[in-house]
Copies of this chain bind each other. A is one copy, B any other.
Amino acid sequence: MVTRKEVAELAKVSEATVSRVFNGLGPMKPATKERVLEAAKVLGYHPNAIAQSFARRRSGNLGVVLPYMPKVHLFSAYYFAEILSGIGEQVREQGYDLLLSLLTPDDELDYGRLYRSQKVDACVILGARDTESQRSSLLQLQEQGLPFCLVNQRFEGLSFLEVDADHVEGSYQAVRHLLDEGYRKIAFLNGSPQYTNSLDRLQGYQKAMLEAGLTIDPSMQFEGNYSRTSGYEIAAKVWEIRDQVEAVFAANDRMAIGLMQGLRERGWIAGRDYAVIGCDDSDAAKLSDPPLSSIKVPFFEMGKQAARAVLASVGQGSSESGLQVKLPTEVKIRQSSKLGALRAGS
């Protein structure tokens, strides 16, 4: 590998000058700069990023931690691609690189590993859950002044950097849409309350229902684990109380689709016999039959803002910590929740 020293020799300047040229620092004679660049090109010199990190005491890496969930595919392709791309775009603009960290359930407790080894300057954390162990790990990170930003998850009572979507409003709008279509008996298929998303959606659901003068019936609420399979299984339960159900609001697309599949096997077709609306507006929503209405979430933008926020706090000792961003969502109407036979017949 060709080093700065060789460039300096060829260009007949000091090594410091070479650095200055490459870092665009200080005033310098154009001729000098020219000579250095020429020499660098001739030799094929490129600064050694590791050495730079070492000297600057900054890795230049943004960590992205995401839990690996073998069975439950927590993330849709859409989520994945969008959020990573968002992070990637921001990161690139700031000259950072992305270090991916796949957590197995075992080392969830150990968010600190990445930082301690100083391979990342900050982290964006995806797929966090509100558990005791995660709370304490994150608190510890914060105490140590290690910058991180949570995406799509909040921790009530704690003041972290958080970028989220407005799931309360999104859910409210989704249920409102169902109400507007004339449905009254609206069931809710939620995910685990360990995700604040789930709590938000419940809130939006309740708000819309109460506002419409309807009662919140616990027997109309179901909990899955965000997998298609769980939605499929819950179809059986929904089926049992089918005479009380006109529509279902599901907390994500996968469960909604699983539900549709389960009910279809019993002869109930979404968009005809009942209405469904999901969340995320993932690819699956367009792939399903009928196409699934869903709440669109700006994942790309969320990734981008999370990266921006956390990188901004790198220099300063997390002084400005506690920024909470909440981006707007948008309801996408497709056939699964359109006025169908149900309304006419009920």
| Separation of A257 and B97 alpha carbons in the complex (Å) | 36
- Give chain A interface residues in 272-315, CB to chain B under 8 Å: 283-284, 286-289
Taking a contact as CB atoms closer than 8 A, the residue among B61, B99, B100, B283 that contacts A84 in the complex is B100
Q: Who on chain B is nearest to A290 by CB?
A: B289
A53 on interface, CB distance cutoff 8 Å = yes
Contact A99 B102 (CB under 8 A): no
- Over the window 48-72 of chain A, the binary record of Cβ atoms lying under 8 Å from chain B Cβ atoms (1 yes, 0 no) is 1111011000010100100010100
Cβ–Cβ contact B85 & A68, under 8 A: yes
How many angstroms between the C-alpha atoms of A120 and B97 in the bound complex? 11
Smallest CB separation, A329 vs chain B (Å):
20
Q: State the copy count for this chain.
A: 2
Report the count of interface residues on A (CB-CB < 8 A).
47
Q: Is the CB of A101 within 8 A of B98?
A: yes
A284 to B254, CA, bound (A): 10
Cα(A284)–Cα(B54), bound, Å: 45
B residues in contact with A119, CB < 8 Å: 49-50, 97
Cross-chain contact B228 with A287 (CB below 8 angstroms)? yes
A73 at the B interface (CB under 8 A): yes
Residues of B within 8 A of A264 (CB): 289
A49 touches B118 (CB 8 A): yes
Query: Which chain B positions have C-beta within 8 A of A77?
Result: 73, 75-80
Shortest CB-to-CB span from A76 to chain B, Å, is 5
Residue of B nearest to A68 (CB): B85
Interface centre among A61, A77, A118, A228 (most CB of B within 10 A): A77
What mask results when residues 101 to 117 of chain A are scored 1 for a CB within 8 Å of chain B, else 0?
A: 11000000000000011
Which B residues touch A73, using CB under 8 A?
Answer: 77-78, 81, 283
Asked whether A317 is an interface residue with its Cβ less than 8 Å from the other chain, the reply is no
Chain A residues proximal to chain B, CB less than 8 Å: 1, 46-51, 53-54, 59, 61, 64, 68, 70, 73, 75-81, 84-85, 88, 92, 97-102, 116-119, 228, 254, 257, 261, 264, 283-284, 286-289
